[in-house]
Amino acid sequence: DYGNGGYYPVKNGQILNKRYEVQKMLGNGHFAIVHMAEDRMTESTVAVKIAKSDRRYAKPSEMEIKFMERIKEVTKSNSSSPGSKNIVKLLDDFRIKGKEGIHVVMVFEVLCMDLDRLLFESNQQVLTLDRIRKFSKNILEGLLFLHTKCKIMHLDIKPENCLVKVDPHNMDLSDPSCNASLKIGDFGTSAWITDNIKGKTQTCHYRAPEAFLEANVSPLVDVWSVGCVLYEMITRDLLFLCNEEGGDCKSKLHFGYISEMLGPIRTRFFKKDERNTVFFDEVFGKEKVFVKEFAEPNPISPEELMKKYSMTMSEADELCGFMRELMVINPNQRLSAKEALKHPFLN
């Protein structure tokens, strides 16, 4: 994906902006490639995110910088806000000219790996229930700060965008005393809360019902995604499989899964003047409720969770209750990040 408005090709050892010496690739996404680099000025290691050059990618990157700058500003004036440390730090930004056009480059603090890789590579010994509790708390604290202090909705909470920070003095994650935490990264598709946007935000598997329905989205869509990520940390399975066809998720099928697991979806949950009528009618038809009874055992039940993760019945009960409150279909009844942080599962 290097030609035609795509990624910027770099070789290890190449120096960017007379300062950052590329060492190795850390990861990539739809918008950019991220490399580990040595900052020759500060003699420290950083992560350099180079966006694709096409306008479709350059513009979100310029926005990403704006969001990171707001976060930096708010952090300065709220030194006591605990959640600000759960957001990845932007250190620098510049532009480079490639064959295909201009690439926006962002320099971040470097972290160990993303949560998706950790899920893939680790086991229950690494992802203990205590660590899962802590990681959930880290994401929610980061979101609380974003939502209330910065007035930003992230809109793409998923394991690939949660970065694992490990104590450099003890990097052995299978050691329970190793101090690891999560930071939220990738603000490439975020939005200001005050922009009152509607539409299909988020990555399909982690998308909240109101976003599927193209109704107005609020910060509560991020909380929905946290529920999906929590399920994945416990089971290593996706909660909702997506049927992508031509890049689009077959929403009606996905709605079936949501309704099967979490209950009936009623039109009155979503304000009439805030939704895309055409799409809404397509899903609900003439019905006022969208219900699908579950034939299989419900994956969000204490019994099913216990089949996938060793824990006591009371732990499973509490966990299941928590997930269900993060994924209440009616956004008005879903927990906010602030309320979620008070839940007994986290305390």
Summarize as ranges the residues that interact with ligand ATP (CB under 6 A). 26-32, 34, 47, 49, 88, 108, 110-111, 114, 156, 160-161, 163, 185-186, 188
Residues that bind Mg ion (rule: CB under 5 A) add up to a total of 6
In the list Mg ion, ligand ATP, none, the entry touching 88 (Cβ below 5 to 8 angstroms by class) is ligand ATP
* Residue with smaller CB distance to ligand ATP, 31 or 224: 31
| Cβ-contact 52, 6 below 8 angstroms | yes
| Cβ-contact 153, 116 below 8 angstroms | no
| Cβ-contact 140, 340 below 8 angstroms | yes
In the list ligand ATP, Mg ion, none, the entry touching 49 (Cβ below 5 to 8 angstroms by class) is ligand ATP
Residues within window 188-207 making contact with Mg ion, judged by CB under 5 A: 188
Q: Which stretch binds Mg ion (CB under 5 A): 69-77, 155-163, 221-229, 318-326?
A: 155-163
* Residue with smaller CB distance to ligand ATP, 34 or 104: 34
Decide: helix, strand or coil at residue 323. helix
Distances (CA, A) of 190 to 22, 198, 291, 296: 27, 13, 31, 36
* Residue with smaller CB distance to ligand ATP, 56 or 272: 56
Question: CB of 20: closest distance to ligand ATP in angstroms?
Answer: 13
* Residue with smaller CB distance to ligand ATP, 155 or 234: 155
Report if residue 186 touches Mg ion, rule: CB under 5 A.
yes
> What is the spatial distance between Cα 309 and Cα 316, in angstroms, rounded to a whole number?
9
Question: CB of 119: closest distance to ligand ATP in angstroms?
Answer: 12
> What is the spatial distance between Cα 26 and Cα 48, in angstroms, rounded to a whole number?
9
Among 75, 84, 138, 161, binds Mg ion (CB under 5 A): 161
State residue 183 phi and psi, 5-degree precision.
-125, 145
What DSSP designation does 285 have?
T
Residues within window 4-43 making contact with Mg ion, judged by CB under 5 A: 29, 31
Distances (CA, A) of 132 to 123, 200, 340: 12, 28, 15
Question: CB of 27: closest distance to ligand ATP in angstroms?
Answer: 3
CB atoms near residue 297 (< 10 Å)? 9
* Residue with smaller CB distance to ligand ATP, 48 or 144: 48
Angle at 233 between CA 197 and CA 270, to 5 degrees: 30
Question: CB of 246: closest distance to ligand ATP in angstroms?
Answer: 18
> What is the spatial distance between Cα 209 and Cα 195, in angstroms, rounded to a whole number?
19
Question: CB of 116: closest distance to ligand ATP in angstroms?
Answer: 7
State residue 21 phi and psi, 5-degree precision.
-95, 115
Q: Which stretch binds Mg ion (CB under 5 A): 4-12, 66-74, 182-190, 298-306?
A: 182-190
Angle at 134 between CA 128 and CA 135, to 5 degrees: 90
Decide: helix, strand or coil at residue 161. helix
Question: CB of 182: closest distance to ligand ATP in angstroms?
Answer: 12
Report if residue 75 touches Mg ion, rule: CB under 5 A.
no
In the list Mg ion, ligand ATP, none, the entry touching 93 (Cβ below 5 to 8 angstroms by class) is none
State residue 89 phi and psi, 5-degree precision.
-95, 130
Applying CB under 5 A, which residues contact Mg ion? Answer: 29, 31, 160-161, 186, 188
